[in-house]
Amino acid sequence: MTAAATEASSSASATPATPAPRGARARFLVVHDELELRLKLADIVRECWPQATVDTCTQAAARGTSAERNEPYQAMLAVIDFAAPATETSGPMDAVQKLREQAGVVPFVVIASGGDERWAVRTMREGVADYWPLHALNAADLGVALREAVRAQTARRERRPSGGSESVFEVPGYRLVKRIAQSTRAIVYLAHSEQLPQPVALKIQPIRAAEAVSSGDRERFLRECQLLSKLNNRAVADVYDYGVTDRCFYLAMEYFPCGSLRERLRNPLTQEESFNYTLQLAVALKVLHKSGVFHRDLKPSNLMLTEDNRLVLIDFGLARSSVLRIDVTSPNERVGTPYYMSPEQIEGHEPDERCDLYSLGVVLFEMLAGAVPYAGHTVREILDQHRTAAIPQLPERAARYQPLVTRLLAKSPADRFASADQLIEAMKELTPAAPAG
């Protein structure tokens, strides 16, 4: 745990928070480059506002979006390191100014690390809503400030003229049926295509400002969609169509009415099902990796089930490098992602195919044991276990798969399978246990 995260943890716990009104909902964005600290701050916000949706992202991700796309938030909170050495082109106030611009009409709260009264004055002159020293962060007072931000945003939205905002999501050739998923930057609809007999999942990222997307962004999006559409494997979701209109990017994908592995795991799997699902996923990762695509967010909610009980991978690769990326940690992902995150991701290193294999190891363990290998009361506990805790043992009934799990969950990438090919070969040496296992 870093000094900054420790500082946030100790100061925030000093004063109990007064929860928001029962049933009150709000959406906040926490911005910082260090995953552990921003997740800790997200926990503090939830302590103040139990019904809140709290997303998190890096400074680069926050700067890479437009003010219009941040409008769903009631407040943006950013940790700024005022002790960091300034360069000729950037410094703490540069970060404040740029993030304040990206916040737009959304109240912007600065949480200062290493700041003093002079920095506070300069920061408030930039029009920020509030300034808090990190070491004095008080959950109770922060809750009061957030409730005021929510009231201000609600009043502003009530004064705004109503309009058909859904019209910006129109895509020629598709009829939207219903919204099935949403984040701050993209919406997924069940849709009917004029060219296809079956329904599709249509993922849309609106473009609300001309300056928000460059020609390079458009070209990269189209190039990556073209690559993904050529991944011809039954364990990878089909990409039917993609494109760019004046108002949005869109991606039409295979629709899965049977739901995801997350729903399936509500009932125990047999060892045979667990083995077969893992082998399917290994083959899918082999296809992805040989095409230069790394998933980096493998988890049960991204594994869809077909009517013939196959697993199909969705949200692969594209979500990490293209214009359609979702660089925030959404509330559901905040619960799920730390459970499936590799040690090198936690440390901030650039992941490769062995990162996906680690996550697959977590999924395999969960299918066989009925629980994730590492759990805890806080996000920090979970992340620390991924980095330092011993690899847990499977129940005795599934012990025959322990060598696979041990190698997949190795702390060092060098100790894991080097590729999906190696994992597949190792699995060929095993035969799945009887269905009743």
Q: Which residue has the tokens 């590492």?
A: 374
> What was the pLDDT predicted at 60?
82
**215 and 123 in a common domain:** no
What element of type H or E holds 338? Answer: helix 331-340
311 with 398, same domain: the answer is: yes
CATH number at residue 386: 1.10.510.10
How far apart (Å, rounded) are the C-alpha atoms in residues 49 and 263?
28
Asked if residue 242 is part of any domain, the answer here is yes
Give domain status of residue 332, yes or no: yes
Is position 85 within any domain? Answer: yes
* pTM strictly above 0.75: no
Do 321 and 213 reside in the same domain of the chain? no
Catalytic residues: 297
Residue 435 lies in a domain: no
Domain assignment of residue 66, yes or no? yes
The residue from 122, 138, 159 where one domain ends is 159
Report yes or no: 202 and 252 within 8 Å, Cβ to Cβ. yes
Same domain, 414 and 282: yes
146 plus 169 within the same structural domain: no
Burial class (CB in 10 A: 0-12, 13-18, 19+), 259: exposed
| Domain end among 126, 159, 192 | 159
Instruction: Decide: 382 and 397 in contact? Cβ < 8 Å.
Output: no
The verdict on 65 and 192 lying in the same domain is no
The secondary structure element, H or E, covering residue 152 is: helix 139-159
Q: How far is CA 172 from CA 51, 194, 207, 239, 246, in A?
A: 37, 9, 15, 17, 11
For residues 282 and 419, state if they share a domain: yes
Q: Based on the domain organization, do 82 and 150 belong to the same domain?
A: yes
- Look up residue 82 and give its two tokens: 């005022």
- Output the pLDDT for position 66: 65
Beta strand 27-31 pairing with 75-81 = parallel
Which amino acid, residue 177?
V
Q: Which CATH number goes with the domain that contains 196?
A: 3.30.200.20
The answer to whether residue 437 sits within a structural domain is: no
Instruction: Give the chain's length.
Output: 437
Model pLDDT, residue 211: 45
Same domain, 195 and 96: no
Q: How many folded domains does the chain comprise? A: 3
Last residue of a domain, one of 254, 285, 319: 254
* Rounded Cα gap, residues 77 and 243, in angstroms: 34
Residues of the chain with pLDDT under 50: 13-15, 17, 22-23, 161-168, 210-211, 317-336, 434-437
pLDDT tens by residue, 287-298: 888 888 888 889
The per-residue pLDDT for 85 is 77
Same domain, 270 and 203: no
Q: Are 418 and 407 in contact (CB under 8 A)?
A: no
CATH number of the domain bearing residue 81: 3.40.50.2300
Residue 50 lies in a domain: yes
The parent domain of residue 415 ranges over 261-428
Residue 436 in any domain: the answer is no
CA neighbor of 430 nearest in space, from 399, 408, 409? 399
Could you tell me the two tokens for 59?
């400074």
- Domain shared by 270 and 407, yes or no: yes
Residues 230 and 268 in one domain: no
236 secondary structure, DSSP code: B
